Amino acid sequence: MSYQQTLYKIVEPIKRTTIHRLNKKKAWKYGYNAEYDVVVISKSGKIGDIYEIQNLKIALPLEENVYSKYDKWTPEEYPKELRNIKTIFDWQAYPAEFKEKWHAYIDREFTRREEGFWFRNKSSSTYITGSHYMYLQWSKIDVGQPEFREANRLFFIFWEACKADKRCYGICYLKNRRSGFSFMSSAETVNQATISSDARFGILSKTGADAKKMFTDKVVPISVHYPFFFKPIQDGMDRPKTELAYRVPASKLTRKSINSTEQREALEGIDTTIDKKNTGDNSYDGEKLKLLVHDESGKWERPDNILNNWRVTKTTLRLGSRIIGKCMMGSTSNALDKF
């Protein structure tokens, strides 16, 4: 008996003629479409297949520009000429003709990060979201580069729908051990933080020590190994222990430095931070977060209580009644008698 996957199914809640008509106009908007009860994760204005995952209907982008160099996921090698460029300041020192040579490559990577990526996988066209692409192509984990897994592809598609849907606080993911959630959520934290301005990103786990380990052993190494064109200006140490700050380092300002063109150009940063908190019912109380990662949320032990904490932390993700941040909550689960 052949295996039949049940993680998702392709559904047709919208007439094909309607999809075709609106695709021609590029009229599908990213986000929840109340008229057809689907969440559109396409950013091109055109949609293709509609997946149903956990009763949520998700409209994928239309299949276009499928990368077919290989017949499976294969990360592309980072060009040798760019590897020694560590910061945007190093890049600025190179001659114009060198930079012109690599503009198309850098633009392509930003496009894949934003819109996702179609590639051939065992003779089938396969779509991964921009966040999944950043995880597979540019995130360094404990074994090097991550491997492609179909379950992870569906996880990132569902997560993209959570981000797109303004009704939603995020995802609650009951996982298997060694499924990769901690690394995937760490990669997504760095991915979002490096494109967000004036934002804060938080990490919680079943203990403060676990949150610290996730920060120092997963989040920071992923950030360190990003290519220079994805890496904002960073304050403090290269491998911080408590906070990763994408902002301009503090310096003494003088009249001469303020009037300097070079200084004015240097005073550009996104002013975004990633940090972790000790486990507690009131962790992050009073903060405003763009993303909160709740790792091992099903393993909190007395006297700490994840339900009490969530009553507090979900308020950090909204402004009034409007949801402005998301939560990635994932865990294996302890026995019920430990709660």
Tens digit of pLDDT for each residue in 60-86?
999 999 999 999 999 999 999 999 999
- Mean pLDDT computed over 161-172: 96
- Do the beta carbons of residue 244 and residue 223 sit within 8 Å? yes
- Do the beta carbons of residue 181 and residue 174 sit within 8 Å? no
Reported confidence tier of residue 144, pLDDT bands at 50, 70, 90: confident
CA dihedral 11, 17, 22, 26 (to 10 degrees): 80
User: How many residues appear in the chain?
Assistant: 339
* Domain formed by 65-338, architecture: 3-Layer(aba) Sandwich (3.40)
- Mean pLDDT computed over 227-247: 90
The backbone torsions φ and ψ at residue 270, rounded to the nearest 5 degrees and listed phi first, read: -90, -10
Please determine, for residue 185, whether its predicted confidence score (pLDDT) is greater than 50. Answer: yes
Please determine, for residue 220, whether its predicted confidence score (pLDDT) is greater than 60. Answer: yes
Reported confidence tier of residue 238, pLDDT bands at 50, 70, 90: confident
- Mean pLDDT computed over 145-159: 95
Q: Helix, strand or coil for residue 34?
A: coil
Residue 225's Cβ-count burial label (10 Å; 0-12, 13-18, 19+) is middle
Predicted local confidence at residue 258, as pLDDT = 43
Mean pLDDT of the residues in the chain: 89
- Mean pLDDT computed over 272-288: 90
Predicted local confidence at residue 299, as pLDDT = 82
Taking the chain, what is the end-to-end CA distance rounded to the nearest angstrom? Answer: 41
Q: Rounded CA gap, 323 and 310, in Å?
A: 15
- Do the beta carbons of residue 133 and residue 117 sit within 8 Å? yes
Q: Rounded CA gap, 81 and 98, in Å?
A: 10
Q: Rounded CA gap, 195 and 311, in Å?
A: 28
Number of neighbouring beta carbons within 10 Å of residue 95: 8
Please determine, for residue 284, whether its predicted confidence score (pLDDT) is greater than 50. Answer: yes
- Mean pLDDT computed over 263-286: 79
Please determine, for residue 339, whether its predicted confidence score (pLDDT) is greater than 80. Answer: no
- Do the beta carbons of residue 121 and residue 73 sit within 8 Å? yes
| Residue tagged 């997963």 (tokens) | 218
Domain extents in the chain: 1-64, 65-338
- Do the beta carbons of residue 215 and residue 274 sit within 8 Å? yes
What's the predicted TM-score (pTM) here? 0.91
The backbone torsions φ and ψ at residue 201, rounded to the nearest 5 degrees and listed phi first, read: -125, 135
Q: Rounded CA gap, 112 and 335, in Å?
A: 41
Bridge-partner residues for 170, per DSSP?
Answer: 327
Please give the C-alpha separations between residue 98 and each of 89, 94, 95, 129, 244, in angstroms, as whole numbers. Answer: 15, 7, 6, 30, 31
Predicted local confidence at residue 334, as pLDDT = 63
Reported confidence tier of residue 207, pLDDT bands at 50, 70, 90: confident
Reported confidence tier of residue 261, pLDDT bands at 50, 70, 90: very low
Return the beta strands (E) in the chain as ranges: 9-11, 31-33, 38-40, 47-53, 56-61, 117-121, 124-128, 170-174, 200-204, 243-246, 272-276, 291-295, 318-319, 322-323, 326-331
Q: Rounded CA gap, 189 and 131, in Å?
A: 10
The backbone torsions φ and ψ at residue 178, rounded to the nearest 5 degrees and listed phi first, read: 65, 25
- Do the beta carbons of residue 58 and residue 157 sit within 8 Å? yes
Predicted local confidence at residue 170, as pLDDT = 96
Of 1-5, 30-34, 99-103, 289-293, where does mean pLDDT reach its minimum?
Answer: 1-5
Please determine, for residue 250, whether its predicted confidence score (pLDDT) is greater than 80. Answer: no
How is residue 104 written in tokens? Answer: 């198309």
pLDDT in tens, 311-321: 999 999 999 99
Number of neighbouring beta carbons within 10 Å of residue 158: 21
Of 19-23, 48-52, 116-120, 180-184, where does mean pLDDT reach its minimum?
Answer: 180-184
Predicted local confidence at residue 338, as pLDDT = 54
